[in-house]
């Protein structure tokens, strides 16, 4: 029994949706996962420790909750930063990342990798993913061509960069269900993104149970 908080957009005037299968079979869907957001949320729910869970099963579970049949999972990430001459620690992180990506692909996920940028601010190194959003937007805008039967998609993210693509898809009769997370506290790292929320057909707040239901076996 899950207790996700589910919200519907105020404006659901899009009437260009195709009807579902009269036999009651779930409609096909695509799932787009923002690894940066999901990793951050995993660490938050794990109280500073990353929750190790099955990303593919997690995505399929969300699709089932929406009574949709997942046709393809898209996973957007970036490899860990590597110096010009990588340190031993950097090499180990890259090896772990490569093993993880290999497993995702073996399970059928379409993995898109950007790059990791290192910035030095106030004598501290900060790491940011680059070009990842652009790859996701390209895939989103190709849906009508590559997946003409898909009329609903799920996006797991909190990034407003997807808004123009979501709005364009809506004009083409494709509804977006957003799985995200935010808190109303002022000191939180998860603030509400009103622009993104207003652009989707429906949004659902993820909770710790969604991750814990797909924990990896030790």
Residue 120: domain span: 5-11+28-212
Distance set, CA 105 to CA 169, 188, 194 (Å): 26, 34, 33
pTM: 0.86
Tell me whether residue 17 is in a domain.
Answer: no
* Mean of pLDDT values over 152-160: 95
Tell me whether residue 21 is in a domain.
Answer: no
Tell me whether residue 16 is in a domain.
Answer: no
pLDDT value at position 175? 97
Q: Which of 107-111, 118-122, 177-181 shows the lowest mean pLDDT across its residues?
A: 118-122
**Is pLDDT of 170 > 50?**
yes
* Mean of pLDDT values over 7-18: 45
Tell me whether residue 164 is in a domain.
Answer: yes
Q: What percent of the chain has pLDDT over 70?
A: 86
Q: What count of other Cβ atoms lies within 10 Å of the Cβ of residue 159?
A: 17
Tell me whether residue 55 is in a domain.
Answer: yes
Q: What percent of the chain has pLDDT over 90?
A: 66
Report the chain's mean pLDDT, rounded to a whole number: 87
Overall number of domains in the chain: 1
CATH of the domain at 113: 3.40.50.1010
pLDDT value at position 8? 63
More confident residue, 160 or 13: 160
Tell me whether residue 19 is in a domain.
Answer: no
């Amino acid at each position: 029994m899950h207790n996700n908080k589910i919200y519907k957009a105020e404006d659901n005037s899009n009437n260009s949706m195709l009807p579902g299968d009269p036999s009651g079979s779930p409609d096909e869907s695509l799932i787009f996962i923002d690894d940066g957001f999901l990793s951050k949320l995993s660490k938050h729910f794990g109280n500073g420790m990353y929750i190790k869970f099955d990303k593919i099963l997690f995505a399929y579970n969300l699709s089932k909750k929406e009574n949709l049949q997942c046709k393809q999972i898209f996973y957007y990430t970036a490899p860990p930063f590597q110096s010009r001459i990588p340190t031993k620690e950097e090499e180990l992180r890259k090896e772990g990342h490569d093993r993880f990506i290999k497993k995702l692909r073996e399970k059928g996920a379409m993995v898109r990798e950007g790059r990791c940028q290192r910035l030095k601010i106030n004598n501290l190194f900060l790491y940011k993913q680059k070009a990842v959003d652009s790859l996701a937007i390209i895939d989103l805008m190709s849906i009508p061509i590559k997946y003409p039967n898909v009329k609903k998609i799920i996006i797991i993210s909190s990034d407003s960069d997807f808004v123009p693509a979501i709005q364009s898809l809506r004009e083409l009769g494709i509804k977006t269900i957003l799985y995200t997370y935010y808190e109303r506290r002022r000191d939180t790292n998860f603030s509400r993104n009103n622009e993104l929320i207003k652009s989707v057909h429906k949004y659902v707040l993820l909770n710790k149970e969604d991750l814990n239901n797909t924990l990896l076996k030790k």
